[in-house]
Amino acid sequence: MIIKRKILENYKQYKFSIPYGVGDTVLVTPGEHIKRGECLIKGRKSTRKNSFYIPEQIGCSLQDINSVLECIDGEFVQEGDTLAQKVTTGGLMVKKLIAPSSGIVDLARIDNGYIDLLGEESATEIVSTFAGSVESISPMEGLTISGSALALDILSISDMFDVQNVSKEKKIIGEFVSLGEGRDLRLKSDAESYHGKIVYVGKYLHIDLLHDLFQKGAAFVLTYSMDYEDFRRQGLPVGVIGGFGEIYSSNILLNKLATMDGKFVVVDYAESQIFFLQDENINSVKGNMFVKNLNGAVVRSLLLSNYGMVGNVLSSDDEDGYIMVEWENGSSSMVDIGAVEFITL
């Protein structure tokens, strides 16, 4: 029997928590049913005025950031104050990062290399894009909700957070934002801010786009592929779902992920998955996990020549173990049945 792999696995009772701070108001109660568009939490947060990637600004490594800081978390600085500085060439030259305006120093992202300057407070709301039920409310655990979700496996996640060294498993939650349909290579994003967003860039993540997104406040970046050396060096929260290098990325999968724009998502480090919270009225397609008939089945190539390409089986040779596949680019080829994986979305 051949087993089909589900690209997006459905969970009917997925449980997750939304953290909230002191002074925030939770507008739902335990046992309450949540509808799409309902306001869950109200609060006030300081707006981010400026963000600086220190290694790029003064030419230091991520490991040396704490030694070059000239400010502390929560400090109020004036325009012209020094935020960080590095002495180079034997003390003959000093590179400085100067505050362009007054504000409050926020070092919440310092482990990722960023200093943020905060401005005035503004009202914030967390509004559901999903349906579910409130399980519990706790200042420690946050607002715990259960609901339907689709889960996508992440091949690799890279940042400086070590899950094994903390008491809680790391999870990043927020709104999923897609940069277009995910097919085009971008060096810069369009919006002025991606504060707290999980940003999907599509088929390939260029290092310039990565820094641009995190400078605009992105919490996590998801891509199909990127350069392996960039992935190892950058130390930022990035998830790769396809592989490394300029590999083929299936338009079917790219389009599917682009339709998730605006969804509330949870990036789970321990599970190495991203969960897309769903409206309860969206029913998942139920299907047999086994391939009953090879003809017409959907496959994804494991061959180096077209790795990741999706196609449909046209015919099969049961005796020799070969199948004829029509690929999504319009070509057809005879391949060994062991050179593909059978999938379903």
| Per-residue pLDDT tens listing for the chain (345 residues) | 687 788 899 999 999 999 998 889 999 999 999 999 999 999 988 888 888 989 889 988 888 898 999 999 999 999 999 999 998 867 678 899 999 999 999 998 898 888 999 988 889 999 999 999 999 999 999 999 999 999 999 999 986 454 444 434 689 999 999 997 767 778 888 888 898 899 999 999 999 999 899 988 899 999 999 999 989 877 788 999 999 988 888 888 898 999 999 999 999 998 999 999 998 655 544 556 777 788 889 999 999 888 889 999 999 887 788 999 999 989 999 999 999 999 887
Match 């040396």 to its residue by tokens: 64
Q: Where in the chain is the domain with CATH 2.40.50?
A: 44-123
CATH architecture observed for domain 5-13+145-277: 3-Layer(bba) Sandwich (3.50)
Q: Where in the chain is the domain with CATH 2.30.30.140?
A: 298-344
Confidence at residue 182, expressed as pLDDT on a 0 to 100 scale: 67
Q: Which residues pair with 136 in a beta bridge?
A: 144
pTM for this entry: 0.83
Confidence at residue 164, expressed as pLDDT on a 0 to 100 scale: 46
Q: Where in the chain is the domain with CATH 3.50.30?
A: 5-13+145-277
Match 């173990």 to its residue by tokens: 321
Among 256, 255, 249, 253, which Cα is nearest to 307's? Answer: 249
Confidence at residue 2, expressed as pLDDT on a 0 to 100 scale: 80
Among 7, 1, 64, which Cα is nearest to 298's? Answer: 7
Confidence at residue 277, expressed as pLDDT on a 0 to 100 scale: 96
Q: CATH number of 298-344: 2.60.120.10, 2.30.30.140, 1.20.1250.10, 3.40.50.720? A: 2.30.30.140
**End-to-end Cα, the chain, rounded Å:** 19
Asked if the 44-123 domain carries CATH number 2.40.50, the reply is: yes
**Residue 197: C-alpha distances to residues 170, 176, 184 (Å):** 16, 6, 20
Helices (H), the chain: 54-58, 65-68, 207-215, 228-234, 251-258
Confidence at residue 167, expressed as pLDDT on a 0 to 100 scale: 38
